Amino acid sequence: SAGSPLGGAVSGPIVGLLALSLGWRPAFGIIFLFGLVWVLLWYFIVSDKPTMSKRLAPEERIDFENHEDVILSDDGRATPSLGYYMKQPMVWATTLAFFSYNYILFFFLTWFPSYLNHSLHLDIKEISIATVIPWVIGAIGMVLGGVCSDVIYRITGNALLSRRLILGVCLAGAAVCVAVSGTVSTIGSAITLMSVSLFLLYLTGPIYWAVIQDVVHKDKVGSVGGAMHGLANISGIIGPLVTGFIVQFSGKYDYAFYLAGAIAIVSSLLVFVFVKSKGFKANESQSCVH
């Protein structure tokens, strides 16, 4: 997952250089070609099952074929429905937290460069270079998020406590940094706050799926996780649109930064209240809540 922010770090200067040299339309076309090449490579290299891979050694193929029919034991209880899980406050709190995560992320992706240009007077070349550091730091945060959660789990023996601490604390910290970002007047301060915000934000990146895997029956992890992901990504539509209206009617970015921070703060509080084993009806689920 750290490849996502790392891609943002790499693409910034590349797209900026291409846009300055060739114009923004050719730059977008070249990026499209990169994506197309990746799709083709993925199609020809990756297989749905290990036994379908042409690069699998004969002895490995035999081993996989001998274990394909092994089925994990179940305790016989009925699998809860998607509707059941979508009524659980813990699932909704996690979904709203993921919504705020994406809201801030899309806010940075779509409007932060414009803020640097209009308010701090950076040109395209300067913006391309300045935004590399925050995304690199964000990639580090993504890697460390899962590690930190696992360390807390090993210390406490409580999986949901470790998820709750990472989600709640880091979302709150990211919220403060985002809110303050709109009030600074120097480039260094803006980039520093963005870097810290993305670091804290990406620390939570692996946790949303971890919560779902902790509390949802294995047969419903995909559907519940997909529902969470779909609802949370609505922020990618709402966030840039709302930010645009705020900037247009107020003439400044301050309130847009405050709103992004407020959404994350509210989500952080919901996580602390609802992401815990007592908030889930364990008798109806086959989860591994601790």
- DSSP for 181-247? HTT--SHHHHHHHHHHHHHHHHHTTTHHHHHHHHHS-TTTHHHHHHHHHHHHTTHHHHHHHHHHHHH
| Extents of the domains making up the chain | 1-71, 78-284
**C-beta neighbour count of 155 within 10 angstroms:** 10
Q: What average pLDDT does range 259-288 have in this prediction?
A: 77
Sign of CA dihedral 89, 93, 99, 102: negative
User: Of 262 and 279, which is predicted with more confidence?
Assistant: 262
Whole-angstrom Cα distance, residue 263 to residue 260? 5
- Domain 78-284: give its CATH architecture: Up-down Bundle (1.20)
- At 71, is the secondary structure helix, strand, or coil? coil
Q: What is the pLDDT of residue 62?
A: 67
Tens-place pLDDT, residues 218-241: 889 999 999 999 999 999 999 999
Q: What is the pLDDT of residue 205?
A: 92
Q: Residue 212: which of 88, 49, 74 has the closest Cα?
A: 88
**Amino acid (1-letter code) at residue 135:** W
| pLDDT interval class at 247 (50, 70, 90) | very high
Are the C-beta atoms of 127 and 235 separated by less than 8 Å? no
Averaged pLDDT of the chain: 84
Q: What average pLDDT does range 187-201 have in this prediction?
A: 92
User: Of 111 and 171, which is predicted with more confidence?
Assistant: 171
Tens-place pLDDT, residues 35-66: 899 889 888 887 766 666 666 677 666 666 66
Q: Residue 145: which of 211, 65, 231, 226 has the closest Cα?
A: 211
As a whole number of Å, the CA-based R_g of the chain is 22
Sign of CA dihedral 81, 87, 92, 95: positive
**Amino acid (1-letter code) at residue 207:** I
**Amino acid (1-letter code) at residue 151:** V
| pLDDT interval class at 126 (50, 70, 90) | confident
